[in-house]
Chain A
Amino acid sequence: MNKTQRDEIEAALKQAEAFVKEVKGSVGLPIVPDAKTGAATWYDQRELRLKYTVSVEKTRRFFEGLADGRIMATRCRRCGELYFPPQDFCSRCGSEDVEWIELSDVGQLLTFTVINVKPMSFSHYQDYTVGIARMPEGINVLAWVDGDPKKLRVGMKVKLKVVRRQPENYLIYEFEPVE
């Protein structure tokens, strides 16, 4: 019932690994037939894991704001350009004088989708809904939309809130429909 795509992927991977191990044991080579074409393929004996560390030093106020339940953008003090995601310089006029502002919490849903087939690193979730909403300040925010996607309509009001994403247990923002 609550089987996720990750369970399926891991089961398939385990099966493949076991098969390759058996083949290596008998013929001494990690060569197995491709599932679709039957062509001889070399099963990689090396594995690469990627996990990046990304600087948020210049935008740490945004992340600190989440802890207070606030979602912040930046505004150029020289030309007034608004930035979400926030950035500490102005791409438009070149100024580095920006101020932090808190975004209003109710926006209008412009579009949405339900992610049925998930990326590997999201495969432990059930289907999730991603939407983009226009905020009163005139900028858009992209985030998950909580609740039943069948009840969502383009143009409806959605409310931005800070939540703790599970199972990773970290602060992030998402939308919920306004009844």
Chain B
Amino acid sequence: MAETASMAETAAIGAPRAAYPLDALALGARSIEAARLTALGPAARLAFRGREAAIQAAGEAFGVALPREANRRHTADGRHALWLGPDEWMLLAPGADPAPLFAAIEAATAGLPHALVDVSARSVTIEVAGPKAAYVLNQGNPLDLSIEAFPVGSATRTLFHKAEIVLSRIAPDIFHVDVWRSFAPYVWQMLEDGRRELA
């Protein structure tokens, strides 16, 4: 599956990608200040699952304590740990090489029951920023994205129209949408559709 592919691609991360799925679409994106779209660059993404004993060790090795509260994101030194389930986290390091991170966490959790999978190449991240960012996202997502219900530091798996995404609020007006790369053009185009009236 995607995990297998990402293992093979790991060696190439950092090298220029001939077909980053959003390149062509991002070039044609209109400038709409109320809801700006940006295709973010490659990132190390590790899917971590584990029980009590492994959770703290993984967080220490990654440099970010894994959040224990549902649907939260912890950030330290530009790295993010996102709660996706009671025993599941996404460890995200923009611009980083996943191999040494993977090795460090594997070493720290050796002998402790857990699963660690490099899924760096599985998804891409789209930034939606601006005073109408939540409004645009709500065209395809029914969550309450008010600052009270979904404050900065929130992160959750959810849906955008028909595609599964991981939605993360970075700042009051900045959201990150992590989406599997084959769905990325669809999500991008639906975001474009949602902000068309703001042009």
A and B are interacting partners: no
* Chain A residues at the B interface, C-beta cutoff of 8 Å: none
